[in-house]
Amino acid sequence: PNSIVNTKKSERLIDNVLPKSIAKRLKEGESHIIENFDGVTILFADLVGFTSAAAEYQPSFLIGMFLRDVFSAWDQLLIMR
């Protein structure tokens, strides 16, 4: 079924983006993984309301303004820490 295809696609994406040790832990069900890799920051976030906003607004607005503002604010928080 469709859910199996989506699961396989998700697993391939995880394997291609994350270090193998992190991908393995994520697939095994670990949900809060904190690791240190020099020169790399990866943030997975579920932005509340983003799916409905994506249906309503143009991609240029979502990427150019909304996501830029969200991640700029995140960067500022990290700098302050």
Give the pLDDT confidence of 5-56 residue by residue, as tens digits.
778 888 888 898 888 888 899 889 888 888 777 777 777 777 888 888 889 9
Q: Rounded to whole angstroms, how far apart are CA atoms 45 and 6?
A: 19
Q: Read off the amino acid at residue 58.
A: Q
Angle at 69 between CA 68 and CA 75, to 5 degrees: 85
Q: What pTM, to 2 d.p., does this model score?
A: 0.47
